[in-house]
Structure 1
Amino acid sequence: MRRYLQLLLAAVVLLTVAGFASSAYAQEREIDPNMDRGDRTLPQDSEILPKVIHRINLRGADSFDKVGSEVSATGFAAPTGGTGTVGPLRYHNGPLMNTPVVYIVFYGNWNQTNGSDTAAGQQLIRDYLHNVGGSPYFRLNSTLAASGQPISGNVTYGGDTTDTGSLGLSLSDTSVLTAITNSISAGKLPNDPNGVYFLISATNVAETSGFCSQYCGFHTASNTGVGHIRWSFVGNANRCLNGCAVQTTSPNGNAGIDATISVISHELAETVTDPDAGNGWFSRSGAENGDLCNFTFGHAQFQTSNGSFANLTVGGKNYLVQRLILHTSTNDHCMMSSTQN
């Protein structure tokens, strides 16, 4: 199943009702406005399975918890305002991904003069995906391996293609999927059963089911004419920095792409641990590992030469990416590595 986020007002109402209806759930995890609760409703396009989204940043850009301002720097860290543990995530006996191969359709105009939708911006994304696999950060996902379903924590970057707008510049969920499958059918991307296919849109592209108003990205899986594929939409956060970024000066000098990379991390980690969006790892509320730590960055943060904050260095570049789940036999914790919160 895919999960689809409600409008903010509806979500607040649902949370209020849920809080009174289930004291057990209220004790299970803290409620933070930036944590996606995995609300499940019908998606925009009924022929596509429900999707799992990356909630927008409700506090706006430059309002995130910088180093030292979340919780005590000792021990395990929780999402903002939390108690030290989150979840718990529960395994629902479905497939997991051991060593995924990431493919990208860069959609829209990636040759703009806005300093974000550029060849250099695309290369930042490639560099990250080339290097994050096997890092202590991404190996956190291996703590969610299950019997007969290993997760190595490795990632391979398989390549990308560019579509300047063959389906227009206002995309539905179905259009996103079609753009991906068209690229596979045309031989621009391999048909890889171990693939995770991202469509990353430029700032001039709208995703009409709620990009920038409800979410920053989503992932799902679909049976298509080219087979069963796991896929994700992530838009360039430059289109809505106040909703999908946490700082307007960023480690690599491209606030939109730097923020987009954190969303990619979120969706990729969730695809590894819940590839078919409904029978892998998620909590009682439907939240996946990325959701439970959404827009939290922990105590690995350091200030870079341009004054921005980062918490991860891979391939010689600094990034600010959200934390992921460290799963233990008793608790789940938001971490940057097995020892660093």
Structure 2
Amino acid sequence: MKSGFLLVVLLAGAIAFAQETSNAASSRYENQNPRSQDPPMLGIHWAKGVTPPASPDARVVTNARRTANMTYHGGVIMPTANTYSIFWGTTWGGYSGDKMSGIDSYYAGFINSNYAKTSDEYTGSNGQVGAGGTSHNHVVDTSASAGGNNTTTILNEVCKEITNGALPLDGTGNGYYAVYADKKRGSAGYCAWHSSGSCNGKRIEFAYFFNLDGDAGCDPQDTQTGHSQGLAAIANVSGHELSEARSDPASPGAWYDSSGAENGDKCAWTFNVAHVTFSNGTIWKIQGEWSNAAYTAGTGYPNSSGQKGCLDGH
């Protein structure tokens, strides 16, 4: 009787361990927002000096072999990047600065740039990340914008602009919609994030960016490109989020490391040169992106942990 009871206990423990192991990869993609039905907030670009909070929903693979490099987890990637920008908020109606035109030229130059090519080594179930794509000029929505703490709210804004005809529905799996709100981040510890959701039954990628004017925690301290501080700040975090969306766009996830960090996370707030030139000749102060190949070969520049795996395509 005792031996039978012991066998049952051992079997139950083995099943529990197997379930925990098999769920490890999926749990890293759980929603980090309060409501579990919201799309997951991924690739959070934490502000300088902020330590990401511990969370049971964090993208951590507890049973993974520890390595500096990212590993593949079976999901899709973005073979190309078709970018669409929305400037959302009441203050954009009378705006006369350089952020709107600057972001248009940013995404136009990102396509086929050496910077974009720093992420092209990654493959997924649907092919390989490529530097090609299309960029589209921004649209403006002067309704009151929302803060970035709820992904469903931001997805609804994107779907609204698609439904009303301001933007096309790019349901190829390569559509990336960047929402630039006029909200300050306030007490939020992050500058931006990306996520994946559905509009009219088609998967899209989308991202959210706070108004970073005068925000020291999200400022790359660009002194050479001539861009306003606000444009320089959102441009830097835009590179972070788009690069992550290309290499790790949707559940069950593609490329991230054992702590859940994507390629932008691993090189956040590290700059190798004063500015990087894009394919259209525009220049930007922008962080590098993690390259497994560069780290393995020892040819990258060091991230904040001293790991030489960052590339910026300069």
TM bucket, shorter chain: 0.7 to 0.9
**Correspondence 1:96 to 2:65:** no
Change (3 A) 1:324 1:252: same
Change (3 A) 1:91 1:118: farther
TM-score (normalised: structure 2): 0.73
Any residues of structure 2 matched to 1:252-263 within 5 Å, and which?
Answer: 252-263=226-237
**Correspondence 1:57 to 2:39:** no
**Correspondence 1:198 to 2:178:** yes
> Could you say which structure has the higher helix fraction?
2
DSSP-derived class of the 1:159 partner: coil
Change (3 A) 1:51 1:169: closer
**Correspondence 1:295 to 2:263:** no
**Correspondence 1:231 to 2:206:** yes
DSSP-derived class of the 2:238 partner: helix
Q: What residue identity is the alignment partner of 1:105?
A: I
**Greater relative CO, 1 or 2 (CA 8 Å, sep 6+):** 1
On the 8 A contact 1:184/1:191 being kept in 2, the answer is yes
TM-score (normalised: structure 1): 0.68
Provide the rounded CA distance (Å) in 2 between the counterparts of 1:243 and 1:330: 28
* Structure 1 residue 250, shift from structure 2 partner: 5.6
**5+ residue gaps in structure 2?**
1-27, 51-66, 297-307
On the 8 A contact 1:271/1:277 being kept in 2, the answer is no
Q: When the two structures are aligned, how many residues end up with a matched partner?
A: 255
* Structure 1 residue 171, shift from structure 2 partner: 6.0
2:277 — aligned with what? Answer: 312
Q: Deviations over 1:173-204 (max 9, x none)?
A: 232111111001111110111211111112xx
1:19 — aligned with what? Answer: none
Provide the rounded CA distance (Å) in 2 between the counterparts of 1:218 and 1:212: 16
On the 8 A contact 1:102/1:157 being kept in 2, the answer is yes
* Structure 1 residue 40, shift from structure 2 partner: 6.5
Q: What residue identity is the alignment partner of 2:309?
A: H
* Structure 1 residue 248, shift from structure 2 partner: 6.5
On the 8 A contact 1:201/1:235 being kept in 2, the answer is yes
On the 8 A contact 2:212/2:218 being kept in 1, the answer is yes
Provide the rounded CA distance (Å) in 2 between the counterparts of 1:333 and 1:248: 23
Q: What residue identity is the alignment partner of 1:110?
A: W
Change (3 A) 1:321 1:123: same
2:215 — aligned with what? Answer: 241
Structure with the greater alpha carbon radius of gyration: 2
Provide the rounded CA distance (Å) in 1 between the counterparts of 2:148 and 2:124: 36
Change (3 A) 1:333 1:211: farther
More displaced stretch, 226-235 vs 266-275? 226-235
Q: Deviations over 1:84-129 (max 9, x none)?
A: xx831011111111111001111112255xxxx5353200111011
Provide the rounded CA distance (Å) in 2 between the counterparts of 1:316 and 1:322: 18
* Structure 1 residue 133, shift from structure 2 partner: 1.4
Provide the rounded CA distance (Å) in 1 between the counterparts of 2:252 and 2:191: 20
Provide the rounded CA distance (Å) in 1 between the counterparts of 2:201 and 2:137: 18
**Correspondence 1:110 to 2:92:** yes
Any residues of structure 2 matched to 1:159-170 within 5 Å, and which?
Answer: 159-165=137-143, 167-170=144-147
**Correspondence 1:132 to 2:110:** yes
Any residues of structure 2 matched to 1:1-341 within 5 Å, and which?
Answer: 42-52=32-42, 53-58=44-49, 87-108=68-89, 109-111=91-93, 118=96, 120-146=98-124, 148-165=126-143, 167-170=144-147, 172-173=149-150, 174-193=152-171, 194-202=174-182, 205-206=183-184, 213-238=188-213, 240-247=214-221, 249=223, 251-276=225-250, 278-298=252-272, 300-301=273-274, 310-328=275-293, 331=296, 333-337=309-313
Provide the rounded CA distance (Å) in 1 between the counterparts of 2:264 and 2:254: 13
* Structure 1 residue 329, shift from structure 2 partner: 8.8
2:23 — aligned with what? Answer: none
On the 8 A contact 1:44/1:172 being kept in 2, the answer is no
* Structure 1 residue 57, shift from structure 2 partner: 1.4
* Structure 1 residue 333, shift from structure 2 partner: 1.1
